[in-house]
Structure formats: C-alpha cells, structure tokens
Amino acid sequence: MPVGGDRPEDRPGRLAVGVVGAGRVGTALGAALSRAGHRVVAASAVSRESRQRAADRLPGVALTDPQGVVSAADLVLLTVPDEALPPLVAGLVATEVPVAGKLLVHTSGRFGVGVLEAATRAGGLPLAIHPAMTFTGRSEDVNRLAGISFGVTAPEPLRPVAEVLVVEMGGEPVWIPEDRRSLYHAALAGGANHLVTLVAEQMDLLRRAGVDDPARMLGPLLGAALDNALRLGMNGLTGPVARGDAETVADHIAELAEVSPEGRRAYIALARLTADRALAAGLLKPADAERLLEALADQ
C-alpha cells in the first residue's frame, strides 16, 4: 500500500477539479484526474442520466450550477457539446464568476483556445485538451484513456501544464495549432464516426445476403484492413478497385441500386476516392482508372 508521498493525492500541485457538464467525457476525465490525486469537488449535471453518471464515477461530488463549479475549483473541465461551449463561456463571464488564475479546460475537438477568449481576458488560463477516443458512457471509458492521444492547444506558457495533465490522465499530448483544430476534428470524426455507419451498413447488407452473424464474418476482415491501413497506408489496399476490376465494381453498383440506394451513393463516393488515391500512389494504371471511373459515373 502506498504511503506518504507515494500516494497520488500527496503529489505536489494537486488541484480542486470542477466538471461543468457531467456527461460521458467530463465524468471520465474527472475520474482520471481523481486517480492522479486531484480532488473533484463539484460538478454540474442537468439530466437524470448525467446526475447518475456523476454519482457513479465521481462519488461524493457536490452537484451545483456552473457558476458554483467554477467558484469551487482550481481546474474547471468545460465538457459540454461544441455548440454549447461559446454561450457557456459568455454566460460565465457575464455573471462575473471569478475565473482569474483558474485553469479552464475545454474538451472540444473543434475549438482551440480562442473560444475561451472572454474568460481569458478576465484572467482565466485557457487550455483545449481533446481526447481522441470515443466515449460510450460505460465503465471502460476511463481505462480507454490509457495510451491514447489528446489533441492539445494552449498558449506557450501553459503548454507544460497541459502536458502534465494529459500525462496524468494516461494520455499522450499531440500539439494542434489553433487554426488547424477544425481540420484535426474533421479527420477524427470522418474516421471514427463514419466508420461506425459504414460497418453498420455492411452488416445490414450481409444479413440481406443470408449471413446470420455479420459481425463474426466482418471482424477479422475489417481488423486486418484497419491494421494494413494504419501500417501501410494505401499500400495496404486490396479488392476490386485496387485490381482495376471495373466489371465487378459495376456489378456492385447495380446490386446496391436494388437493395440500398443510400448505400449505393456512399459506395460510389468512396470508390471514386479510393481510385483517385490508388492512381496517385501508383497502385492503379491510368487505363484501369479510366474504366473504373466510367463504371462509377453516377447516372
């Protein structure tokens, strides 16, 4: 059992943490900071689900309004939806809640520290710390923070603080320039969110093809494809587009037109992008690419 200075709570620089928005992300990060020895002292929660989540993940925390959270904390996690963040910051400043000297940490992938400008002018210390992970609200969320990347934007003097906080939560800081936050977030959302839709669509198609357990069939294939993509990039590409098999692609499009018109449009768009990238990578001959694009003409 750790004793004395070996305990997380005995480390120097421990902070009183507040969570404005006790949702999936806020409670997970709050729990991670608590493990690192910080004290979660207050949270705001509106829905029954968020109040229960706060009780489960942040036991004993006082539930209050956002102004009360900010007043009680040294470090404030602003973990609300993207569209709610600007009015939240404006509202906190308008109420003249004391923010001077407090670390104000939002977790939006879309925004950098500019969205906190009003609070920064009032003396707040702005950090944008976005965990590159999907959160489901289940118990494994906190453990999934170990080893993941956090997209971090911070003023130069606060970069060491941001780095320490991310490392304490088990993550690795990756520095994102302020003017590249939207591009950074688009890449993550396009990869993770659209992947879920893509896989769900393919499972539906397999069921219609008579496959009883689509997940079991797709799991090894998609796992290998993801591994190939992450390790090899476009050199990991296989399948009819990589082979320049325009007839097979045309057959797929015709079948999807009968079964899933929405899926057909997505197939065409992704196949075009795949063909363009395969051609640029030298994996596809120009003549084969031309035949593919003819097959992909969306009449």
Provide the residue ranges of all domains of the chain, joining segments of one domain with +.
13-176, 184-295
Residue pLDDT, tens place only, 175-199 = 999 999 999 999 999 999 999 999 9
**CB 73 within 8 Å of CB 17:** yes
Structure pTM? Answer: 0.88
Cα–Cα distance list, 270 to 30, 61, 65, 298 (Å)? 39, 47, 46, 12
42 exposure class (CB count in 10 Å sphere: 0-12, 13-18, 19+): buried
Calculate Rg over the CA atoms of the chain: 24
Please tell me if the domain spanning 13-176 has the same topology as the one spanning 184-295: no
The bridge status of strand 75-78 relative to strand 103-106 is parallel
- What fold characterizes domain 13-176? Rossmann fold (3.40.50)
User: What does the pLDDT profile of the chain (299 residues) look like in tens digits?
Assistant: 344 456 766 666 799 999 999 999 999 999 999 999 999 999 999 899 999 999 999 999 999 999 999 999 999 999 999 999 999 999 999 999 999 999 999 999 999 999 999 999 999 999 999 999 999 888 889 999 999 999 999 999 999 999 999 999 999 999 999 999 999 999 999 999 999 999 999 999 999 999 999 999 999 999 999 999 999 999 999 999 999 999 999 999 999 999 999 999 999 999 999 999 999 999 999 999 999 999 998 65
> Which one, of 79, 83, 35, lies nearest residue 53 by Cα?
79
213 exposure class (CB count in 10 Å sphere: 0-12, 13-18, 19+): exposed
**Does the domain spanning 184-295 belong to CATH 1.10.3470?**
no
Q: What is the pLDDT of residue 1?
A: 39
How far apart are the C-alpha atoms of 195 and 34, rounded to whole Å?
32
Q: What is the pLDDT of residue 298?
A: 62
How far apart are the C-alpha atoms of 88 and 208, rounded to whole Å?
46
Cα–Cα distance list, 58 to 10, 15, 42, 257, 281 (Å)? 19, 15, 9, 50, 50
Q: What is the pLDDT of residue 12?
A: 66
